């Protein structure tokens, strides 16, 4: 435990003084800001038009609550084009679209961000052999886990800053976004992104343990992220055997196949469940992320323990 | 004989189809300075790396102070290592880096240990310098300092003086001399003169195999022969051979007189004095006398 703590502290200190983490934080904030800005402005235009249409309808004697209900229905329909999960759609209805869009894009960005942050945590020490100064002092497993914990800590700090930024900017676009809802969603988004980030950080540790050259670790890591995304999408293109078709898209484009089970072979598939209102779905998604993370770290440990340094 | 500090037992290491170390066995006695010798590709760095736990043997076993070197964490606090070509993490200030490593080693006062170790290698002024800004020689000495931190009972040094200027190399040799007796030392080096000076015993490797492992006196023959470099004149070989304890006297190329003796019958110093006196009587001029054969000659003959 003392070993882990010492490595964690040392690696955090190194991360704090290295320019890379600051550059990545700036990139992360820039990306988040750009997404929020672009989506926020687009949503503002749409909202203004909707408000204008609502005002005109009310002026013509329409019932304002019926008109608002109609607007909510349109939002529900829009969200339903992305998923058949009605409970999920219901849960995110009160979440401003700008925040939902930023979250969705971040779920794509976080794996890449994590890869850029930690691709050389082990390979960067194995190549120049500086890891030899560590292995005579501590167990290899402590090196792996200590470095991973430091990566996760740095990531969580950055995600906390990013989440606060997202929620704050959303508030600027949506004055009706209440403080209570803001706090609730900030906590949910942070936890979801955090769990997601932990699984991807474990994957990055694996690829950093597999290769001696940091560049190779990074490239293969990114390829793996894309491959896992493909596997998840491939599974999503099919219905499970015996599953009924929902809507026109299912009927026309999604056939029944055992290939639908492929989605479970990818950690990508479980990302949406992290915001699910049903605690069983949420717990399942969280466990899936932790489970995949454990598999990645376990494989990294086996690799590192067996490898010549 | 007491239990050895390091025991290398029938160790083989293969990298794919290539056998880098082949069934090598030797012991390093506690308190000894032990040399690992061999030409490039002999397997000495591979053997050294297995002693440090960097590499795992394909077969066989290496024990350091009774612990299996390939077991995770087995060498903690037991071994200090100067790896040959391991780069110091460039962004760390030297003092913080050594303190960090000291804390990983579980030292109670890592900062004080780090300062002490830097003073031992005469580099206290590098405390706040980034490791990446150090010259090759300074980086080597900082790496040496980290090996000394906590005063581990076993210290393994891979090419400790390679690439150092003569003055610094001499200082490092002096430091190794100071460490002898208090620590068990293993030194891998190409510098045979250095090893001959420093080591009590040595293993000579060639093409992955152990050619010879013995005390330095046995390998160089210091206990059984001496040589005289002649400048002018012919030595009386028959008369020399008749001296008490002398078993053979012969003239080698380059006017070198080789005298072999039985150390149980005569003291080397006594016989050397007699031979030199005899040569002087016969008007033979000489320029040097040395015991045994130079390690370099032995190694060249064996590999």
Mean pLDDT by 10 residues, chain A (309 residues): 88 83 84 81 78 78 72 73 74 79 85 92 92 93 95 92 86 81 89 93 96 94 94 86 73 78 87 84 92 95 91
- Residue A148's Cβ-count burial label (10 Å; 0-12, 13-18, 19+) is buried
B121: tokens are: 């290698």
Best of B89, B145, B152 to disrupt the A interface (most A CBs within 10 Å) is: B89
pLDDT mean over B11-34: 94
- Contact A6/B81, CB-based, under 8 Å? no
Report the chain A residue with the minimal C-alpha distance to residue B13: A308
A138 neighbourhood in chain B, CB within 8 Å: 73, 76, 104
Q: Is the pLDDT of residue B1 over 60?
A: no
Write down the pLDDT at residue A38: 84
Complex ipTM more than 0.85, yes or no: no
Query: Which residue, B281, B299, B280, is CA-closest to B289?
Result: B280
pLDDT mean over B127-142: 93
Is A10 an interface residue toward B (CB < 8 Å)?
Answer: yes
Chain A closest CA to B44's CA: distance in Å? 16
Higher pLDDT, A27 or B133: B133
Asked whether B128 and B93 are in contact (CB, 8 A), the reply is yes
pTM of the model: 0.83
Cα distance between residue A258 and residue B252, in whole Å: 85
Report the chain B residue with the minimal C-alpha distance to residue A5: B104
Is A134 an interface residue toward B (CB < 8 Å)?
Answer: yes
Chain A closest CA to B169's CA: distance in Å? 22
Is B79 an interface residue toward A (CB < 8 Å)?
Answer: yes
Write down the pLDDT at residue B32: 92
Higher pLDDT, B111 or A20: B111
Write down the pLDDT at residue A116: 93
Angle in degrees, CA B197, B199, B205, rounded to 5: 110
| B106 φ/ψ sector (left φ>0, alpha ψ -120 to 50, else beta) | left
What's the alpha-carbon Rg for chain A, to the nearest Å? 22
Count Cβ atoms below 10 Å from residue A95 Cβ, excluding itself: 20
With b for 16 or more beta-carbon neighbours within 10 A and e for fewer, the A164-182 pattern comes to: ebbbebbbebbeebeeebb
The conformation of residue A242, written as its DSSP 8-state character, comes to: T
- Residue B111's Cβ-count burial label (10 Å; 0-12, 13-18, 19+) is middle
Q: CA–CA distance from B241 to each of A163, B72, B126, B238, B278 (Å)?
A: 93, 58, 59, 5, 12
Q: What is the DSSP pairing of strand B256-261 with strand B225-232?
A: antiparallel
Report the chain B residue with the minimal C-alpha distance to residue A20: B91
Is B88 an interface residue toward A (CB < 8 Å)?
Answer: yes
Question: pLDDT band at residue B83, thresholds of 50, 70 and 90?
Answer: very high
Write down the pLDDT at residue A251: 66
Write down the pLDDT at residue A250: 67
pLDDT digits (tens, 9 = 90+) for B62-80: 999 999 999 888 898 899 9
Cα distance between residue B106 and residue B24, in whole Å: 33
Report the chain A residue with the minimal C-alpha distance to residue B98: A133
Asked whether B147 and B121 are in contact (CB, 8 A), the reply is no
- Contact B104/A139, CB-based, under 8 Å? no
Question: What number of CA atoms fall less than 13 Å from residue B297's CA on the CB side?
Answer: 8
Q: Is residue B59 within a helix (H) or strand (E), and if so which, with residue range?
A: strand B59-64
Q: What is the DSSP pairing of strand B209-215 with strand B201-206?
A: antiparallel
B209: tokens are: 């195999």
Distance of CA B106 to the CA centre of its chain: 29
Report the chain B residue with the minimal C-alpha distance to residue A305: B72
- Contact B101/A130, CB-based, under 8 Å? no
Which stretches of chain B are DSSP H helices? 44-51, 94-104, 110-120, 136-148, 166-179, 192-198, 216-220, 237-241, 268-281, 295-302
Distance of CA B165 to the CA centre of its chain: 19
Cα distance between residue A52 and residue B259, in whole Å: 114
Q: For B285, phi and psi rounded to 5 degrees? A: -95, 145
pLDDT mean over B104-130: 93
Asked whether B33 and B176 are in contact (CB, 8 A), the reply is yes
Nearest to A137 among B56, B83, B101 (CB): B101
Chain A closest CA to B182's CA: distance in Å? 20
pLDDT mean over B263-287: 93
Asked whether A251 and A157 are in contact (CB, 8 A), the reply is no
**Stretch among A241-255, A262-276, B166-180, B203-217 having the lowest mean pLDDT:** A241-255
Task: Please report the number of interchain residue pairs, chain A to chain B, with beta-carbon separation below 8 angstroms.
Answer: 73
pLDDT mean over B223-227: 86
B216: tokens are: 């330095």
Question: What number of CA atoms fall less than 13 Å from residue B153's CA on the CB side?
Answer: 14
Question: pLDDT band at residue B33, thresholds of 50, 70 and 90?
Answer: very high
Write down the pLDDT at residue B283: 93
User: In chain A, which among 25-64 make CB contacts under 8 A with chain B?
Assistant: none
Query: Which residue, A307, A195, A141, is CA-closest to B49?
Result: A307
Is A305 an interface residue toward B (CB < 8 Å)?
Answer: yes
Angle of the A214-236 helix axis to the A179-210 helix axis, nearest 10: 120
- Residue A237's Cβ-count burial label (10 Å; 0-12, 13-18, 19+) is middle
Nearest to B146 among A13, A125, A133 (CB): A133
Angle of the B94-104 helix axis to the B136-148 helix axis, nearest 10: 30
Best of A137, A144, A306, A307 to disrupt the B interface (most B CBs within 10 Å) is: A137
- Residue B42's Cβ-count burial label (10 Å; 0-12, 13-18, 19+) is buried
Write down the pLDDT at residue B21: 95
Distance of CA A303 to the CA centre of its chain: 26
- Contact B80/A133, CB-based, under 8 Å? no
pLDDT mean over B131-145: 93
- Contact B53/A17, CB-based, under 8 Å? no
Is A135 an interface residue toward B (CB < 8 Å)?
Answer: yes
């Amino acid at each position: 435990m003392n070993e882990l703590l010492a490595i964690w502290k040392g690696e955090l200190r190194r991360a704090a003084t290295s320019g890379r983490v600051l550059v990545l934080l700036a990139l992360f904030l820039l990306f988040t800001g750009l997404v929020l800005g672009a989506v926020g402005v687009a949503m503002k235009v749409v909202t203004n038009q909707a408000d204008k249409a609502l005002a005109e309808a009310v002026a013509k004697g329409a019932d304002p609550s019926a008109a608002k209900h109609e607007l909510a229905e349109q939002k529900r329909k829009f969200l339903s084009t992305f998923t058949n999960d009605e409970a999920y759609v219901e849960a995110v209805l009160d979440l401003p679209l700008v925040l939902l869009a930023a979250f969705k894009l971040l779920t794509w960005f976080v794996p890449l961000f994590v890869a850029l942050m930690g691709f050389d945590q082990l390979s960067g020490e194995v190549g120049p052999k500086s890891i030899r100064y560590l292995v005579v002092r501590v167990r290899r497993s402590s090196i792996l886990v200590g470095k991973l914990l430091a990566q996760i800590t740095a990531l969580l700090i950055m995600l906390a800053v990013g989440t606060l930024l997202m929620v704050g900017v959303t508030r600027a676009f949506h004055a009706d976004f209440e403080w209570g809802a803001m706090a609730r969603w900030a906590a949910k988004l942070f936890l979801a992104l955090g769990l997601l980030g932990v699984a991807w950080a474990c994957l990055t540790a694996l690829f950093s343990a597999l290769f001696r050259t940091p560049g190779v670790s990074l490239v293969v890591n990114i390829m793996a992220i894309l491959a896992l995304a493909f596997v998840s999408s491939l599974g999503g293109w099919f219905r499970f055997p015996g599953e009924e078709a929902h809507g026109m898209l299912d009927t026309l484009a999604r056939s029944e196949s055992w290939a639908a089970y492929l989605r479970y072979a990818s950690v990508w598939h479980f990302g949406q469940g992290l915001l699910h209102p049903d605690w069983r779905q949420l717990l399942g998604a969280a466990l899936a992320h932790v489970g995949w993370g454990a598999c990645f770290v376990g494989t990294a440990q086996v690799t590192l323990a067996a490898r010549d340094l | 004989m007491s239990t050895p500090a390091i025991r290398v037992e029938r160790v083989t290491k293969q990298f794919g189809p290539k056998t880098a170390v082949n069934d090598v066995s030797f012991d390093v006695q506690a308190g000894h300075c032990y040399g690992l010798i061999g030409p490039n590709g002999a397997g000495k760095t591979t053997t050294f790396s297995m002693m440090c736990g960097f590499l795992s043997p394909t077969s066989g076993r290496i024990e350091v102070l009774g612990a299996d070197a390939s077991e995770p964490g087995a060498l903690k606090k037991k071994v200090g290592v100067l790896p040959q070509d391991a780069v110091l993490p460039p962004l760390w200030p030297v003092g913080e880096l050594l303190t960090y490593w000291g804390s990983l080693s579980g030292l109670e006062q890592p900062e004080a240990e780090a300062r002490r170790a830097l003073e031992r290698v005469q580099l206290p002024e590098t405390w706040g310098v980034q490791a990446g800004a150090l010259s090759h020689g300074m980086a080597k000495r900082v790496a040496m300092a980290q090996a000394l931190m906590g005063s581990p009972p076993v210290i393994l040094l891979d090419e400790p003086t390679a690439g150092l200027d003569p003055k610094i190399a001499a200082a490092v040799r002096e430091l190794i001399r100071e460490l002898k007796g208090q620590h068990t030392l293993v030194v891998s080096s190409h510098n045979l003169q250095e090893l001959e000076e420093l080591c009590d015993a040595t293993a000579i490797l060639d093409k992955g195999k152990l050619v010879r492992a013995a005390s330095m006196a046995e390998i160089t023959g210091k206990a059984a022969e001496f040589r005289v470099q002649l400048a002018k004149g012919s030595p009386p070989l028959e008369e020399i051979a008749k001296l008490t304890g002398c078993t053979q006297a012969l003239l080698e190329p380059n006017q070198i007189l080789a005298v072999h003796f039985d150390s149980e019958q005569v003291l080397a110093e006594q016989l050397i004095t007699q031979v030199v006196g005899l040569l002087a009587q016969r008007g033979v001029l000489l320029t040097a006398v040395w015991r045994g054969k130079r390690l370099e000659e032995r190694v060249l003959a064996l590999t």
